[in-house]
Structure 1
Amino acid sequence: MSFTWSATFTVGQSADTSKGDKIILPQAALESIIHAHASTPPPLPVQPDPDYDPTSWAQPQYNPYQQTKPPELPSPLTFQIRNPANRLLTHGGVKEFSAADGQVHLPPWMMISLALTPGDQVMVKYAALPKGTWAKFRPLSVDYMEILDFRALLEARLRSSYTTLTRGEVLKVHQGTKEFGFVVEELKPEPGEAVCITDTDLEVDIEPLDTEMVDATTHSAGGVLNGQGSRRGGSEKDGVLNIGVESQGRVPPEAYQRWTVDIPNRKSGIEITVHVQEPGDLDMIVSTKLPVSLEDHLWANFESIGPRVITIPASDQDYATQQNSQIIHIAVYGREPTTVAVSGSSASTASSSAGETIYSIQVHYHDSKVFSSTQPSGSSSSVSVSAEVPNNDAPGYQECTNCGSWIPERTMVLHSNFCHRNNAKCNKCGLVMKKEDLPNHFHCDHCDKHGDVSEKKKHMEIFHGWYQCSCNSFESPSLPEMAKHRRTTCSERFIICRYCHTLVQQGGPASNARDRMRGLHSHESYCGDRTIQCQKCSQMVSLKDVQVHAQNHEYQRQNQATPQLCSNQNCVRLKGATSNVLGLCQLCFGPYWISTEDPKNQKLVQRLARKYHTQLMTGCGNNWCRNQYCATACGRQMDATSAATEMMSILKEARVGAADGHKTWLCVDEGMTRKKVMAELLLEEVRGQYTIEWCVKALEAERTDLEAAAQWLQLQAPKVKKATA
């Protein structure tokens, strides 16, 4: 039952808390909606069926004595929102009824779409919209190709924030920190002006951009798109590295230059080397995904002197388990020079005057056996090998007490005088250096770092500064520790949700211990609570429990009791609940049952022996028979003596009176022979993955349809367990 309701409100401040199409109405609006719904006259009564018989057991088409319940208020409530000044309109749902009397709060995008400002008048009218079945969206720019899965992103956005869709409105979605716009192009069912998308299966489609729009968007951006959807060209800071090829670059202070390298062979580790031209200083940071920066990376080298080397072995978990991409992202961050230039060459002068650091970078594979573990972030990744001291403990040599070198004994006096006059030894680390270099030698008061005093400022800034994450839940004096937080526990870390398959922030820790043990954060904990219907048992199961629920079905399937077939090797009937001393089904055992007492089964054995003897001598006479102990099936008749000898051997297999292990060989009718042949064909088709008992069960369930029986086996029957050595 539909009703009519409309009202005019003053537009209040935009509802920033509403990210979708839901508006906030006053409490008086809810009361008037309920009153309008209750005041709507009921539908006309249905005319009674002239053939209606109240005494009949048949289901009546109309019962004049049955009282109909009053219709409930529609859910969800959907409204048409119109600007009376320019006749622009859209549709939306309602979030809550908490606005001040006479006011309505609209989402910011809706106010822009309707050209409204606070204080304007807007008309809100109830509109009963059909359930949407299909929607086509048109992207506003070519950047939409950067979206990993645009259908999943659109469906997640609509499911979480929207109640309606209106043709022509712009839908804004976010992947990571980037926003994408899509225009609602078409809707179904017809006429498709607006639809409700709550509690319905909405199919989403994208209208691809035409060539002119792609060219215009690309030209305005100053670059083109590569195969991964990332923008190339128009910027000197982007570059592509090839394995084994050295590339040149320059980076200004406090700026990044980024590189990418494709690593298809993950069985070997890689080594990244940057040689810096003095005077100049830079940091090298590496990650498997964007963004890559000082605060967000996996590997880094913050050294100030010598080549910057990062070695990533093939055994590194982040490197080896990288999914969906083979790209390694490298960023070079420029810093003010901290070393002193040598001899003032022309190249050094050009570098310092331009304010840029000139460097070369190269990536190459290396033997993973050489490096046993990943070097920590912030340290050089080169292998430290303890150098052998020449002439150590050699005959005729003596160790210098100042520098530790082994000197021939005959020249020790000369060396000792020269060494004490020119060299000095650090009392903390034992490093020997020239006396004029000793004042420039420093030791960190907080860690075991030591080196040239020019490195002190950078070292203190990176490892002993103070950094606070933008999530406001973590602070650390160490930049590598900050980077570790950003890529693990930070609530602002971007992940691909395992349930909605969109790029979202993972949020804080899950609210319950069970989800925390699963490694879920707040977004996946909330998203995984959505339910779907199990196709096997029709129960509603949460997305988080689908895998366990499916494993439970698989466990039950694999541990079913195997159906018991008749012991007659030519019969494929199930024995059923009853049992007899021969293990036969009821139809096969019927001819051997007698009412007289036979405690030792002697009479039963005699009847079975006579049956075997007759089969071997004369056969059953049926041309369809496939019993190997029947003269008709074998095509040869035995004499009485040979038949008796053969009969005694197969009679032992019957195991009359035993608990199990029965085997009988009795002729059956044509229909049963045909069923056994089909069961054997099905067993051959499934290549022995299931037992003959389950093949018979499948044929019974699917009424001897071989194709349907094979599918039944895949869904219902346990597979044969392979024997383990």
Structure 2
Amino acid sequence: MSFAWSATFTVGQPADTAKGDKIILPQAALESIIHAHASAPPPPPIQPDPNYDPTSWAQPQFNPYDTTKPQELPSPLTFQIRNPANRLLTHGGVKEFSAADGQVHLPPWMMASLALGLGDQVMIKYAALSKGTWAKFRPLSADYMEILDFRALLEARLRSNYTTLTRGEILKVHQGTKEFGFVVEELKPEPGEAVCITDTDLEVDIELLDTEMGGAINHSTSGILNEQGSRKDNILKIGVESHGRVSPEAYQRWTVDIPNRKSGIDIIVHVQEPGDLDVLVSTKLPVSLQDHLWADFESVGPRAITIPESDQDYTTQQNSQIIHIAVFGREPTVAASGSSTSTASNFDGGAIYSIQVQYHDSSDSPIPPSGLSSLTSESADVPNKDGPGYQECTNCGAWIPERTMMLHSNFCHRNNAKCNKCGLVMKKEDLPNHFHCDHCDKHGDVLEKKKHMEIFHGWYQCSCESFESPALPELAKHRRTTCSERFIICRYCHTLVQQGGPTSNARDRMRGLHSHESYCGDRTIQCQKCSQMVSLKDVQVHAQNHEYQRQNQVTPQLCSNQNCVRSKGATSNVLGLCQLCFGPYWIPTEDPKNQKLVQRLARKYHSQLMSGCGNNWCRNQHCATSRGRQMDATSAATEMMSILKEARVGAVDGHKTWLCVDEGTTRKKVMAELLLEEVRGQYTIEWCVKALEAERTDLEAAAQWLQLQAPKVKKSAV
């Protein structure tokens, strides 16, 4: 039932529904809408079918005499929103009725589209919109090609936030941190000025840009953004050394293609002193101090990162073979040659470095950790250790000839000092500049302390405001795993979205779903097998239930006659034959020990073996016609006795008989054997017969029926 309602409101503060088209109206608006709906004249009565007989058992498609049922308020409510000053208009739904009297709250994009400001007058009118079936969008810029799946992204945005679409309005969507704009170009059904998109299957189409612009897209997006926002290609090749220069507090980015994931990689960066930098590595963008998988924050020696082939983040990377590397420049903390007595005042503001990526050879000795002295790194193989005529110095630990030990000991104690904590030997003047971290095992030059404390013992809070950590690597781990702002490809809507916080649903937590996928997975689709509506996140379990039911079906019981393919049926007999095959052997007289039945079956077998059935289509291996030769009475009797035992007359199961059948049954048997050969024995002959019956002897259709309906043969355990 259609009704008329309109009112004028004052524009209040923008609504928090910035991502959709839903407005907030006052409570009085709802009351007036209900009153207008109740006061609207009822629809005209539908004329009954003149051919309808009310005394018959047939039911009409509608009851034209039922006028007692009240008409419900339309859902969803859709409105036309118009600026009376410039006659601009759009459409939208309603979120709630909680605004102050006389006010309406509109999304910011809607206020901008209608050129409305705070305190302006806006007209809201109820509009009954038809359900949309098709929408065509035109991108505002060429970078829409960066979207992984723009149709899925548009459909997800519309489904989650919009009630209506108006031709000419601009729809803005986000992938990651980037925003893309699309103009609503066309709508169906006609006239297509505006449609409702709730509870309808809306097909989305894109008006592609011209070829020249498309070529420009591919060219412009092939590089990497540098600090100034321009495109710059920093491409590394495996085994080739490259050079760079990075300013303090700035990033320089590199990419390297790693097609062979069966081998790990080594990333080695040599820095010219007194420069200092950090190396950050990830399998996807962005790469920064807060977003990375692997990093080296040392200040002394080469920066070396080894990623083994066993690393899950490295080996399971999908959709790309690119490794992203970011070099972050820092103010120098250690002066040239590692001497703390000199300064880096002559530093010209940029760290010069060389970078190389190579496949990791597990047979090579591992790269020594940065910041350790040569004495420490070679302590496992001290020259002349325990050699004859050598003695260990108690101060520096070196093995010195005994004849010169006194001279060495005097010189060593006068000039060298040994750290009591780590055993590192250094000059006495350098000992005051040697530090040990109070929170971890880190030690080195005191000029490294500031950077170490900042990175590993500072205080970092994630922008999601739900995680704090003193260590930058822990923050990076949080941002790539549990952070609500982490971008993921949703497994249900296939768009790049923020995963959201932990879901409140315990089952979804066990599935590894966060809030977005938990909400998105609640959407339902219809099962093609049982027509039941199933939520997306339960589709796999629902399919497994169908598979379990399929595999545990009871196998159809065929006639024990090896040449017959008819079902045994509900009734059973002592030979396990179908009713048609058992008919010639049934007699009305009592035969408690089945003696007469065995005699009739023996006579039938003997006749088949001696003279045959005479039918040229016969394929009974115990029939003279099928064999093409007749047997004498004695030979026939001997073979008859052997196959008569297989009948197992009177037994519960295990019957096997060999009787001739009609031409149609023989043809079905041949087709069942052909189908069994085609499916390579994955299904039993009983299910092949059932498939042919279901598909009316169509072999190709029967093979598809088996794949969908029949249980496969279970392989016996060895």
**1:368–1:109: structure 2 CA closer, same or farther, 3 Å change rule?**
farther
Structure 1 unaligned blocks of 5 or more = none
Corresponding residue of 2:709: 716
Alignment of 1:541-690 (within 5 A): 541-690=534-683
- Distance in 2 separating the partners of 1:162 and 1:324: 31
- Distance in 1 separating the partners of 2:268 and 2:17: 49
**1:403–1:677: structure 2 CA closer, same or farther, 3 Å change rule?**
same
Structure 2 unaligned blocks of 5 or more = none
| Structure 2 counterpart SS, 1:487 | helix
Structure 1 length normalisation: TM-score? 0.93
Letter paired with 1:359: Y
The answer to whether 1:430 aligns with 2:426 is: no
- Distance in 2 separating the partners of 1:659 and 1:526: 56
Letter paired with 1:672: T
Aligned partners of 2:612 and 2:630 also within 8 Å: yes
Alignment of 1:122-161 (within 5 A): 122-161=122-161
- How far did 1:512 drift? 2.5
> Which one of the candidate residues 530, 537, 543 is aligned to 1:537?
530
Aligned partners of 1:468 and 1:475 also within 8 Å: yes
- Distance in 2 separating the partners of 1:371 and 1:599: 89
Aligned partners of 2:79 and 2:92 also within 8 Å: yes
- How far did 1:397 drift? 1.5
- How far did 1:491 drift? 1.5
Aligned partners of 1:283 and 1:302 also within 8 Å: yes
**1:329–1:62: structure 2 CA closer, same or farther, 3 Å change rule?**
closer
**1:202–1:434: structure 2 CA closer, same or farther, 3 Å change rule?**
same
**1:675–1:230: structure 2 CA closer, same or farther, 3 Å change rule?**
farther
Corresponding residue of 1:359: 353
Aligned partners of 1:49 and 1:62 also within 8 Å: no
- Distance in 2 separating the partners of 1:149 and 1:371: 45
> Which one of the candidate residues 486, 492, 495 is aligned to 1:493?
486
- How far did 1:235 drift? 3.7
Letter paired with 1:160: S
Task: State how many pairs are aligned.
Answer: 712
Aligned partners of 2:300 and 2:371 also within 8 Å: no
Aligned partners of 1:146 and 1:230 also within 8 Å: no
Aligned partners of 1:311 and 1:375 also within 8 Å: no
- How far did 1:695 drift? 0.7
Corresponding residue of 2:295: 300
**1:235–1:342: structure 2 CA closer, same or farther, 3 Å change rule?**
farther
- How far did 1:328 drift? 0.9
Corresponding residue of 1:271: 266
- How far did 1:308 drift? 0.5
Corresponding residue of 1:251: 246
Structure 2 length normalisation: TM-score? 0.94
The answer to whether 1:334 aligns with 2:339 is: no
Aligned partners of 2:224 and 2:231 also within 8 Å: no
Q: Which deviations, in whole Å up to 9, do the C-alpha atoms of 1:363-392 show, x marking residues without a partner? A: 1111246689x999x999x99775311122
Farther-moved stretch of structure 1 (165-174 vs 504-513) = 504-513
Aligned partners of 1:78 and 1:94 also within 8 Å: yes
Alignment of 1:90-489 (within 5 A): 90-211=90-211, 213=213, 224-226=220-222, 235=230, 239-341=234-336, 352=346, 354-368=348-362, 387-489=380-482
Aligned partners of 1:141 and 1:214 also within 8 Å: no
Letter paired with 1:8: T
Letter paired with 2:23: I
Q: Which deviations, in whole Å up to 9, do the C-alpha atoms of 1:552-584 show, x marking residues without a partner? A: 111121122211111101100111222221111
Farther-moved stretch of structure 1 (628-637 vs 452-461) = 628-637
Alignment of 1:22-101 (within 5 A): 22-60=22-60, 66-67=66-67, 69-101=69-101
Farther-moved stretch of structure 1 (351-360 vs 419-428) = 351-360
- Distance in 2 separating the partners of 1:576 and 1:607: 23
- Distance in 2 separating the partners of 1:43 and 1:79: 21
| Structure 1 counterpart SS, 2:544 | helix
Farther-moved stretch of structure 1 (607-616 vs 334-343) = 334-343
- Distance in 2 separating the partners of 1:266 and 1:324: 13
- How far did 1:697 drift? 1.0
- How far did 1:621 drift? 2.2
Q: Which deviations, in whole Å up to 9, do the C-alpha atoms of 1:462-511 show, x marking residues without a partner? A: 11111111111111111111111111121111111111111111121111
Aligned partners of 1:225 and 1:231 also within 8 Å: no
- Distance in 2 separating the partners of 1:615 and 1:52: 65
Letter paired with 1:169: E
- Distance in 1 separating the partners of 2:62 and 2:472: 77
**1:512–1:51: structure 2 CA closer, same or farther, 3 Å change rule?**
closer
Aligned partners of 1:300 and 1:379 also within 8 Å: no
- Distance in 1 separating the partners of 2:52 and 2:316: 71
Percent sequence identity over matched residues? 87
Corresponding residue of 2:5: 5
- Distance in 2 separating the partners of 1:230 and 1:422: 52
